[in-house]
A and B are shown apart, each in its own frame.
Chain A
Amino acid sequence: MGEFNVHRVRFFDYMPSAIRALAFQPQRERIAVARTDGTVEIFNRADCFFQEKVIPGRQQAATEALAWVGDRLFSAGLNGEIIEYDLDNNKTKYTIDAYGGPIWSITSNKQGTHLAVGCEDGTVKLFEVHEDRIQFERNLAKQKGRIISLSWHPSGSKIVAGMMDVIHIFDTETGKLRALAFPSYDLLGTSRSQECVVWSVVYLSDGTIISGDSAGKVKMWDSRTGTLIKSHQVTKWDVLTLSVSQDETSLAVGTSEGHVVQFQFLSMVLGQEDKEWVRTRTFKNHTHDVRAVLEVNTAIVSGGMDTQFVVRPLLDKIDERGQASALRNIQFPHRRLVSCARKAGLLLFQYPGHLELWRLGESEGNGERKRENTTLSIKRKRWIAYSTVASFRLYRLHCENNNVSIIKVSKLPKVLSSANQICFSSDSSHLFVASTCSSVHVAILNQSGCKFVCTLKPKSGSGQAINLLAASEDGKWLASANSDHEVQIYNLNKMKPHCTVPVHSSGVSAMAIHPTTNNLFMVHADQQLTEYSVEKKQYTDWSRQVQRHGLHSLWLERDTPVTNVTFNPKNPAHIVLHDMYMFCIIDQTLPLPDQRSQFYNQLTLRSMPEKERKKHSHAFKMCKIFKELLFVELMEDQSLVVVERPLMDITAQLPAPVRQKKFAT
């Protein structure tokens, strides 16, 4: 296949934010993740935990908790505001102030009619959920001290609140403290000298209340009598979070030493009805505080200070070995944070608050590099365009010798206010901006500036946001993919929708239009590869062959999605893909690997004489010699750019964990 010059780049200091809260929407199997930088991410459990949406937020929001009400997602934070998200367009829908000081918790009742928030001022505030807004209903009896945690009873008539040293039960009908309130929490077991924070409470339908506290204990209480049933010392440090499964038979506990402990509601004697909560398993997948856990049917999902999103399958609930039974550890976003000007050799890194533009070294050996600190998001050739939550910006880039300068384009069409995706045509004459409701705005770029042309709208009328855009090399076609898994192709000559690619069950994680054949190559979250001929409006032969033949199991078992697709300008049969752990060149002229054949065969081929190689080689040229990859692209001059971000470097930037490492533990 040949040799490649590789620009091995390690100066993208990408640093993910810690996970603060998790919430599960059981009907649609979506998991919402709140990070400390204010971002909310939506993962689709049914689609290999693919990161479908990313809703940017502000760090000042200091999101503390998330709550689903049906399909609607709410968050509350220490800035005292409740946010509802517009999940179609990946943005904040509205924000209302709860007027209770910082909010520590938000939770909805099972009926989906009310939201309760726990505030710093000691009030539990009930909000009624309306069609398009939420409406403050009343305060429950005000307490002294902040409300740290809340949980509704499944009946919706009672709510339990965890505070400092105390647990209270409120009647939601009357708003009063229940007669059988709890005795002071610390009377039972915890030391009086230290304040005990009830970090998390769970109210079960049988009236049991489970609490997790800063003394490292998980306690089961009887809410009718207010007595302690059982206390489990889970950790020396804090128990930060609790999550009970839908059927209330399993409880996941997150601790600040990075362990997740599972309790199960089991009968102590076989065949008898009497059941007890029994500590069953301990998972040690985190190095830092576990700030949030979820019991998601067959798996325990956890996240915390170490920024990892860990899916730990419960093997007793999974019958067959496969995707679902593997431990999944999501560290990088399922989208590109790097864009690249293939001809100019420029790299653009997207940080949460700024952009960095780098030029690749030209000389062999010691690559020279320049560093420009600009603030931006996507570009091609002589333009840089970026969009924040609030605004859209376009810059003209001048790059002569070693001088790089940018000039802001001042007059932009009003319609370009905010974008989910931005894409330039290959000759830089057009700009495509993905906007709300799957629409794409088209603008012409020339010396004088930027001129709006028209808006492309899909036939289907889907309201989902576009998460990928791809323009063809000849400037004739534009493809867009949204989070409903729809892929729409537009004819740019006519400025009309051309066709819709048949909907696949899994979302598109990367796609690109082939420069010579105009085939749209798509990689899905479930690792399937499809190639669709735009002109013929059908899947190509190669694509059908892949479907018939099936992909190698080792390819399907990879647990990170492909996030970039590029083509080799010198050899049209070559397609370059990468995920977090590997990059791969698919040679469409070679046979697909057999299920029995060796999939990772590069070492074997290397050791073979030239003539025999042909016999053993297959279409997938896998390369795993690099550390964790954020981006791989084949440049115009055939050289590869590899942006690595070793996890070690991320770990090194995390604060020290509370757990002290001891010998042999």
Chain B
Amino acid sequence: MAALYESYTLCALADTGPEGTRAIEPDRDRDRVVITESGRAVTVYKVSDQKPLGSWTVKQGQCITSPAVYNPPTKEYVVVTDEKVVRVWKDEDISIEKAFKATVSAEVYRLHSVPDREPLVLFRHGAVRFLDSLLAAPQQTIEEVLSEEEVIRWSAAVQMEQQLVLLFSTEQRGQHCLYVQRFSPNALVKHRLETDSTNSTPLSYAATYRDGNIHLLYLCNGSVYESVLQARPTVPAVSGTVQALPRSLLLKLPVGEGELTAASALPVDESHIAVVGVPHPLAGAGKDYLCLWNTHFQTLQAARELAGKIYGQLWCFSGKLFVPHGKILSVIPFECQKSSLAAAMGKLKQTSGTNESSGPTLVPTWNALLHSNQTQTQENSRGVGSEKEVQKQVEEFLHGSQPEELQLTAGRLASALVMRCQADPTFYPQAAFTQLVQTNYLCHSGCPDLLVLTLEKNDFRLCQLCLQLFQDIPEAVTCCCLKTILSFQDSELEQVDLEDGLLFMKALTQTAEVSDDGDSGQHNGFCPPVLEEEICDAPPDSEAPGTRPAREPLALDMSCPVGLHKGALLNEVLQVPYSDSLLLPHLKDLNVPQVLLFLQYLRFLYLKYSQDAHSRIPALRKPTVTQIMDWVCLLLDAHFTVLALTPEAKSLLTSLHKFVRSQVKLYSELGKIEGSLEALKKSKQSREIGQYSIEVIELF
């Protein structure tokens, strides 16, 4: 987790147009920086005190062309004015004018301070010297490495364990190149930088040394690319060929509509980069944001809106970001923890000291939520408080919470309540549970013991709710529910208010009575299969057709084998999502009477459905025919051998068999009808007649 802390202003900025020479360089210790500004002034600041320690300006008419750097070995400051004049002074010098100065023979592009070494001087045409060797002979001839039109855009010195490397990028007619200057032995390698198109100029560069490699980061077209340069080139540079530098996309920044003009990306550790001048992904098109991005997980870790104009400049020294914006230079301390997925997702375990780092975050974190407002409710649910109090508190909590918070906390709260119920058998806040379940934010995995608890407490109303609303009930628990419901006596269930499910069952059994009275209910082409069976199986008997309906075993069987309440609960079980292979082993736990009862009930449902009864019953939830059939199949699969050996099951199985056979027959007949209708359709299509044909007709 990365965070930006409270920022403070280091200094006011002079309002000058070109910010080209504004620069910040590290000074002798971690708390001091050298700020070169407005082309004329150099100031040394103590950062923590926000206080200037010393300030020097060049004379009117002169201009600082390369920012001042600190030269550690000599403890002097070095600056270049008017491109060719090198000035060196010490802390105690009052005026630069009186300090040492030397005029060199070529224009200097930039000075680079190197820890524990003499500064490097990069000339405008690509030549590089150490400062001491340059000052030893200021008028020495400086070779021209770059052509006349090639312009240096950026340069940096990177100190590796043993070696020093100077990198600089150039632009020539829209083409960008990177030069790598190594020392002892001196070697200059040129690479071509890949850019998407001709007009995409890299807005900022940054180079860091890490794990034996130089990582070059550049921001181009709203994307941050990374190129890795090996510290020691394995292949000696072949003169004449310019290799393209391979690059990888590190991060795609949300650019919005506008084009980026002044933006900068800076790596702050191996997995975080700080970006300034790029819009916040949630805050519209405004570009005045400083953002910390995690490049591993592509997540925005922290962001800060900055007032005033953004110059697209950004420095980072010893855990602080320096951002000039508007008329001030802000210092923003930050912290980046070692990145992990948990941290990226905001789920990192909170350490004790995190309170101080609770920086302003835009993304609500898991822990922040869990540790804020609801802790008290949770406390109450854990130990003290009667059922009523708990319910009241839960109600208040539900009213006062944001949806995304509820998502996180409802499960926890319910788990806490369940834990207390398990510990204290007399405690069971049914209303509170109901409210929590009805938020729709609860799921089985969020509170795994709740459903089992409802079964233990015989709270079938809540059990029904859970079955309806939980989408992730494990098959074992489903089976457990089924078992409990099947083994319960109908009389004991009658007191439970099951609302809609019960209405459906009532309607279903009522239509059963109606259709028992007459055959009016059977109008969907469903022909009671027994009629057919008898015609097929039995020898053509002399019985009058009028007596047949009385002999239909299915018609006799149309009474519901279970009570309405039990039926309603079973319907809920039928609609729970499951996967066959996982459910099958658990189904074997049912005993034979349970299986028989369930099968009878399923057969009842199926017969009802075949009579088109269900489609006329308005109900929000009702099992589909496919669900019923799947359960029948599963149940038979799980218990087939047992059922085959159970005499009581025989009639049930035969009736199921007959029924299925008749259904198969019906569907095959329907298939035939479909085929013949199709053929009819085809024959109706008149054949295409061209403009002229010779045919034969016959008249009679």
Contacts and interface: CB of A to CB of B under 8 A. Distances in A.
A binds B: yes
Interface of A: 1-11, 361, 364-365, 367, 369, 585, 602, 605-606, 613, 617, 621, 623, 625, 640
Contacts of B696: 3-6
A8 B689 contact: yes
A9 B694 CA distance: 9
Nearest to B700: A605
Contacts of B700: 1, 602, 605-606, 613, 617, 621
Contacts of A606: 698, 700
Given A361-B694, A364-B694, A367-B694, A10 B699 contact: no
Nearest to A4: B697
Contacts of A364: 694
A8 B694 contact: yes
Contacts of A613: 700
Interface in B674-700: 689-700
Interface of B is mostly: strand
B692 A625 contact: no
B694 A5 contact: yes
Interface in B259-301: none
Contacts of A4: 696-699
Contacts of A9: 691-692
A8 B687 CA distance: 14
Contacts, number: 57
B688 to A, nearest CB: 11
A364 B697 CA distance: 14
A605 B698 CA distance: 11
B699 A11 contact: no
A3 B700 CA distance: 9
A10 B691 contact: yes
A414 to B, nearest CB: 41
Please list the 3 inter-chain residue pairs (A to B) with the smallest Cβ-Cβ separation, ordered nearest first: A605-B700, A11-B691, A1-B699
A365 B696 CA distance: 10
A11 B697 contact: no
B693 A8 contact: yes
Nearest to A3: B698
A10 B692 contact: yes
10 contacts: A1-B700, A3-B697, A3-B699, A5-B695, A8-B694, A9-B691, A364-B694, A365-B694, A369-B692, A602-B699
B271 to A, nearest CB: 61
A3 B695 CA distance: 10
A640 B699 CA distance: 12
A9 B693 CA distance: 7
B694 A2 contact: no
Nearest to A627: B689
A8 B692 CA distance: 6
B237 to A, nearest CB: 75
B50 to A, nearest CB: 74
Given A4-B699, A625-B697, 12 more contacts: A1-B700, A4-B696, A6-B695, A6-B696, A10-B689, A10-B690, A11-B692, A605-B700, A606-B698, A617-B700, A621-B700, A623-B699
Interface string B635-662: 0000000000000000000000000000
Nearest to A6: B695
Contacts of B697: 3-4, 6, 623, 625, 640
Contacts of B690: 10
B691 to A, nearest CB: 4
B693 to A, nearest CB: 5
Nearest to A626: B697
A345 to B, nearest CB: 12
Nearest to A7: B694
Contacts of A640: 697
Contacts of B691: 9-11
B700 to A, nearest CB: 4
Contacts of B695: 5-6, 8
A6 B693 CA distance: 8
Contacts of A369: 692
A94 to B, nearest CB: 43
A585 B700 CA distance: 10
A365 B690 CA distance: 12
A640 B697 CA distance: 10
A635 B700 CA distance: 20
A6 B700 CA distance: 16
A42 to B, nearest CB: 34
Interface in B222-238: none
A2 B694 CA distance: 16
A141 B693 CA distance: 64
Contacts of A5: 694-696
Contacts of A605: 700
A523 B689 CA distance: 31
A613 to B, nearest CB: 6
A359 to B, nearest CB: 11
B692 A621 contact: no
Contacts of A625: 697
A12 to B, nearest CB: 10
A167 B693 CA distance: 58
A367 B694 CA distance: 6
A11 B694 CA distance: 13
A478 to B, nearest CB: 32
Given A8-B689, A10-B689, A585 B694 contact: no
A136 to B, nearest CB: 53
A367 B692 contact: yes
Contact of B694 (A1, A3, A6): A6
A1 to B, nearest CB: 4
A194 to B, nearest CB: 44
Nearest to B693: A8
Contacts of B693: 8, 367
Contacts of A1: 698-700
A606 B697 CA distance: 12
A2 B698 contact: yes
Contacts of A10: 689-692
A5 B697 CA distance: 7
B694 to A, nearest CB: 5
